[in-house]
Homo-oligomer: A and B are copies of this chain.
Amino acid sequence: MILVVSLNPALDITYRIDVVDWAGVNRPAEVHARPGGKGLNAARVLQALGADVQLIALTGGNTGNEVRSAFSATGIPAVYAEIAADTRRTFSVVDVGRGDTAGFYEAGPPVTASEYARFLEHYAAALAGCSAVLLSGTLPPGLSARTYAELIEIAANAGVPSVLDAEAEALWLATAACPAIVKPNIAELESAVGGPLLRTGDLDGVAEAAAQLRERGAGAVVVTLGADGLIAVTAEGTWVATPKPADGNPTGAGDAAAAALVYGHILGQSWPELLGRTAALGAAAVATPVAGEFRAADYERALATVKVSRWERG
């Protein structure tokens, strides 16, 4: 069983509009509202991969009710720790004519110390019998930047390895708790170590920053590079995995990659296999318009063409 932790889930609302009037009134013909946030998306990908998965999330208010009732349709078992404030929304406005998407992401509800303490009780109970935990997404206001570090320590004390998909200080502090894998994208890695890292076509800075996180305690650091795949700094060396580029919606590709990493980790895949599958699943997720979904045929095709090789400093 893989336990997926979502401390800041969201109700994701998407409007598709032919040509948006950014200074007037628009009447969206297509409205989609679905449970989201990185953890929920990754849980759905894990289910589609055939993994045994359970969700634990903080939810509150009417938006929280909406997230819970919609997520129950997936059939994924879920434990919810209730909070007083409202679960956040995200809005995405797709301008079909211009091909642009504007995203509006609320920060999330304040979480009190006693609400977090109740969550910890549920978390400890849910860890029993799990083979890995995936911690995914931003922290809601009120939770300390040390939260992921603490959750990783609690899992480690229960003998459960962690995979972390986070950013900034929360990622930086969590690496010292020795997660098995951390999976930032470039911007998230930059926000953890400070400063711009990628000069065009030159991965040196990225590899150095990833190595810093590994020195702090992370077992492996897998940095997703968008259409260019990923670079991974591991105990067995540094690797790059490059899929055939896919056209589509990059939202959710990182969640698919996180799912592939935690699943491959518990299956004991070798690094070349694990990283190839991760890059291929990310590319397959791009080809599907909805975050948290991919088509098996796209994944198979991407797997057949992804290239994995050892990386040497340029």
Interface set of A (CB-CB < 8 Å, partner B): 13, 15, 17, 20-29, 31, 33, 61-63, 65-66, 69, 86, 89, 91, 93, 95, 98, 100-107
Contacts and interface: CB of A to CB of B under 8 A. Distances in A.
Q: Give the residue among A20, A24, A62, A86 with the most B Cβ atoms within 10 A.
A: A62
Given A13-B91, A89-B13, A91-B13, A21 B62 contact: no
Nearest to A68: B62
Contacts of A103: 24-26
Contacts of A15: 91, 104
Contacts of A20: 22, 102
Nearest to A21: B102
Given A13-B89, A15-B91, A91-B15, A26 B62 contact: no
Nearest to A23: B100
A286 B101 CA distance: 31
Contacts of A31: 106
B63 A22 contact: no
Given A62-B62, A63-B62, A101 B27 contact: no
Contacts of A33: 86
Given A62-B62, A65-B62, A69-B62, A104 B93 contact: yes
A26 B93 contact: no
A46 B221 CA distance: 61
A25 B93 CA distance: 11
Given A13-B91, A89-B13, A102 B65 contact: no
A202 to B, nearest CB: 24
A105 B25 contact: yes
Contact of A22 (B91, B102, B107): B102
Contacts of A69: 62
A91 B104 CA distance: 10
A102 B23 contact: yes
A100 B23 CA distance: 5
Contacts of A24: 102-103
Given A15-B91, A91-B13, A100 B22 contact: yes
A132 to B, nearest CB: 29
A229 B80 CA distance: 53
A100 B102 CA distance: 15
A134 B97 CA distance: 40
Contacts of A21: 102
A65 B33 CA distance: 16
A22 B25 contact: no
A15 B13 CA distance: 14
A60 to B, nearest CB: 12
Contacts of A104: 15, 17, 26-28, 91, 93
A23 B99 CA distance: 9
Given A20-B102, A26-B105, A28-B105, 15 more contacts: A13-B89, A21-B102, A22-B22, A22-B100, A24-B103, A26-B103, A26-B104, A27-B107, A28-B106, A29-B107, A31-B106, A63-B66, A65-B65, A91-B91, A91-B104
